[in-house]
């Protein structure tokens, strides 16, 4: 039986782009599928100039097609890889997203709305990754309302190195950059979009992050101009979406998922924050309902990274500048963040 184009595309959706959890079809890399009798031809256009990536994708496509259509006589796979010069001329937002070559992975932490504990999760995940032995940086992308300095317990201004790049302060073993380091206390930022984008570019290109295994970027809440500018400026390896269990939160978080999809950033998974509260008598109370994040992950066929309890130690640690992972390492909340950090490392590495 001769396969249809839809059947071929369905099979190719199982081929993951090297280093990502997302497939080559959803990335928009499959440009053409031709079927001639029992022969199948596939045209793939990559955005990476790395020829090794092209070879990996081509081999995976051939193997997938042979397994999916055993009666096929041949599989012609053509992979177009841009030259470095062509890659450099690609419009901004596609390949000209900035990334320091000394930073191995850049991960965005996002939510569709405020109040779900996104920044709290970002600082604790950064500290948890550091506990696992990784070299970690945390960039506060919330220009209007930076909270990372408070939560990490540091207010010092960054110093300037010999190359005139900013040297990020260090707290709890994590390198940090935030607009909060550059403002006077209670000073408001009243800027339009272009200024936000320029600042984000400077946080990437004019900060000496050093050698990092992971740079976490704490995105502002919502899906507006600042979030879009950051996703189109920074070369993100993936995004993590934070939600709380109730439908009101999950419904808005879907917009955060859509934002990543629009800018072709693979989604590493969903975290459900404030999943339950442990009462003094040991009763587990679901203050905001149950399972909203897990159900959304299943509905979208995305990884569910885990649940974080509603724990007073998390709030106390954020106010004191000592994240719960550092201040109460044996607590259920700290253990939850550590489990998620280990899961992220597995998915990224």
Domain termination site, one of 43, 64, 88: 88
CATH code, domain carrying 56: 3.30.300.130
Q: Is residue 96 part of a domain?
A: no
Residues 156 and 303 occupy one common structural domain: yes
Look up the domain containing 136 and give its range: 103-348
The tens digit of pLDDT for each residue in 212-227 reads 999 999 988 776 666 7
Residues 131 and 196 in one domain: yes
Co-location of 114 and 76 in the same domain: no
Specify the pLDDT at position 90.
42
pLDDT band at 161 (very low <50, low <70, confident <90, very high): confident
CATH for 135: 3.40.50.300
What is the mean pLDDT of the segment spanning 11-30? 81
Average pLDDT over residues 275-285: 81
Same domain assignment for residues 129 and 199: yes
Give 336's pLDDT tier (boundaries 50, 70, 90): very high
Pairing state between β 30-36 and 39-45: antiparallel
Query: How many residues can be counted in the chain?
Result: 349
Do 9 and 155 reside in the same domain of the chain? no
Cα separation, 154 vs 142, in Å, equals: 17
Please state whether 166 falls in left (phi above 0), alpha (psi between -120 and 50) or beta. beta
Both 157 and 16 in one domain: the answer is no
- Does any domain span residue 336? yes
Q: For the packed helices 312-320 and 332-348, what is the interaxial angle rounded to 10 degrees? A: 80
How would you list the strands of the sheet with 74-80, edge to edge? 30-36, 39-45, 74-80
300: phi then psi, degrees, rounded to nearest 5:
-90, 0
Q: Can you tell me the mean pLDDT for 47-51?
A: 72
Domain end call among 31, 60, 88? 88
Structure confidence by residue, pLDDT tens digits, 32-45: 888 887 789 999 98
Q: What is the pLDDT of residue 342?
A: 94
Residue 288: exposure state from Cβ atoms within 10 A (0-12, 13-18, ≥19): buried
For residues 71 and 197, membership in a common domain is answered with: no
User: Looking at the domain assignment, is residue 93 inside a domain?
Assistant: no
Q: Residue 21's pLDDT band (boundaries 50, 70, 90)?
A: low
List the beta bridge partners of residue 229: none
Q: Which two tokens stand for residue 171?
A: 């707290």
Q: What sign results for the dihedral spanned by CA atoms 300, 336, 131, 323?
A: positive
User: Which of the listed residues 22, 56, 88 is the one where a domain comes to its end?
Assistant: 88
Q: Are residues 138 and 254 in the same domain?
A: yes
Please state the domain count of the chain: 2
Please give the pLDDT value at position 88. Answer: 45
Query: What DSSP designation does 181 have?
Result: G
pLDDT grade for 97, boundaries at 50, 70 and 90: low
Cβ neighbourhood burial of 291 (10 Å; 0-12, 13-18, 19+)? middle
Share of the chain above pLDDT 90, in %: 28
Rounded CA gap, 277 and 310, in Å?
5
Considering the domain boundaries, does residue 97 fall inside one?
Answer: no
pTM strictly above 0.85: no
**What pLDDT, on the 0 to 100 scale, is given for residue 138?**
95
**Same domain, yes or no, for 80 and 123?**
no
Are 150 and 51 in a shared domain?
Answer: no
Task: Flag whether pLDDT at 191 surpasses 70.
Answer: no
């Amino acid at each position: 039986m001769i396969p249809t184009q839809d059947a071929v595309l369905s099979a190719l959706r199982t081929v993951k782009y090297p280093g990502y959890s997302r497939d080559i079809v959803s990335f928009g890399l499959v440009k053409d599928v031709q079927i001639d009798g029992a022969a199948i031809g596939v045209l793939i256009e990559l955005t990476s100039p790395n020829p090794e990536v092209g070879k990996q994708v081509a081999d995976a496509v051939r193997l997938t097609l042979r397994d999916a259509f055993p009666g096929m006589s041949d599989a012609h796979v053509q992979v177009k890889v841009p030259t470095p010069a062509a890659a450099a001329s690609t419009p901004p937002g596609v390949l000209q997203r900035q990334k320091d070559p000394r930073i191995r992975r850049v991960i965005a932490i996002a939510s569709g709305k405020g109040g779900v504990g996104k920044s709290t999760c970002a600082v604790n995940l950064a500290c948890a990754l550091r506990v696992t032995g990784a070299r970690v940086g945390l960039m506060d992308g919330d220009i209007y309302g930076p909270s990372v300095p408070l939560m990490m317990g540091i207010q010092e201004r960054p110093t300037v190195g010999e190359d005139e790049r900013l040297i990020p302060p260090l707290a709890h073993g994590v390198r940090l950059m935030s607009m909060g380091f550059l403002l006077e206390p209670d000073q408001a930022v009243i800027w339009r979009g272009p200024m936000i984008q320029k600042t984000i570019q400077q946080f990437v290109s004019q900060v000496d992050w050093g050698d990092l295994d992971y740079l976490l970027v704490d995105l502002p809440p919502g899906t507006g101009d600042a979030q879009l500018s950051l996703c189109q400026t920074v070369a993100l390896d993936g995004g993590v979406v934070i939600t709380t269990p109730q439908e009101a939160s999950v419904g808005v978080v879907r917009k955060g998922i859509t934002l990543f999809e629009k800018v072709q950033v693979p989604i590493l998974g969903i975290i459900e924050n404030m999943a339950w509260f442990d009462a003094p008598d040991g009763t587990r109370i679901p203050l905001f309902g149950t399972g909203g994040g897990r159900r959304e992950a299943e509905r979208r066929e995305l990884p569910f990274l885990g649940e974080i309890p509603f724990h007073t130690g998390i709030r106390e640690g954020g106010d004191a500048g000592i994240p719960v992972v550092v201040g109460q390492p044996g607590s259920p909340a700290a253990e939850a963040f550590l489990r998620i950090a280990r899961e992220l490392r597995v998915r990224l590495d």
